[in-house]
Chains A and B, each alone.
Chain A
């Protein structure tokens, strides 16, 4: 399958600072990227969907001003957690999909980024 990478794989930051997480599709062009969050022992929760060149669509209850998503190119999306607080500590996972009419649009996941806010 196709490869999706995330950087960094883990990050520790102080409360009040902002953290940027990158998601890249390495061998395909991702017209759509998704961001998920996962707390310990819980399932993945979809945060937002972004299409290249468009504003992200956020799921209900996700603060768009706190979780800034940019999908400026077909191979890169970024998630910025602004003014991070300890409750934002979580495992953030991105996934990417090449959307083509009539084709099977499989979704590939990155390895995740573990964010710890002190």
Chain B
């Protein structure tokens, strides 16, 4: 039972912002939204996470809607090295709900 819904694929021109959407309409009050990415044949890499406020770090920004039913990961200036599968994951903080369960993700292709 998937907790998140993401488009299967997206394209983005190099240097432009990549906006990756995620729906998590059944998220509960104590669950966080996490984003990971996986470059081909590598282990997943943590990007960012948030609860209700927007978050920004050196890699990306995370915008969470007020009702928390959806979010958007923003890569402000995409490069070719950002080509990867991006996973949006809802994760709890208590035992048995704090596992990272991966959905199908969004395959982002950055082109020159």
Contact = CB atoms under 8 A, between A and B. Distances in A.
Interface of A: 1, 4, 6, 34, 36, 43-46, 49, 91, 93, 95, 105-112, 114
A106 B46 contact: yes
Contacts of B87: 43
B42 A111 contact: yes
Contacts of B102: 36, 43-46
A107 B87 CA distance: 14
Interface in B1-58: 36, 38, 41-46
Contacts of A108: 46
Given A43-B105, A112-B41, A1 B99 contact: no
A107 B43 contact: no
Contacts of A36: 102
Interface of B: 36, 38, 41-46, 87, 98-105
B84 to A, nearest CB: 13
Contacts of A49: 99
Contacts of B45: 109
A1 B46 contact: yes
A112 B43 contact: yes
Nearest to A109: B43
B98 A105 contact: yes
B43 A111 contact: yes
User: 10 nearest interchain CB pairs?
Assistant: A109-B43, A44-B102, A43-B102, A109-B44, A111-B43, A112-B43, A93-B43, A110-B43, A43-B104, A107-B100
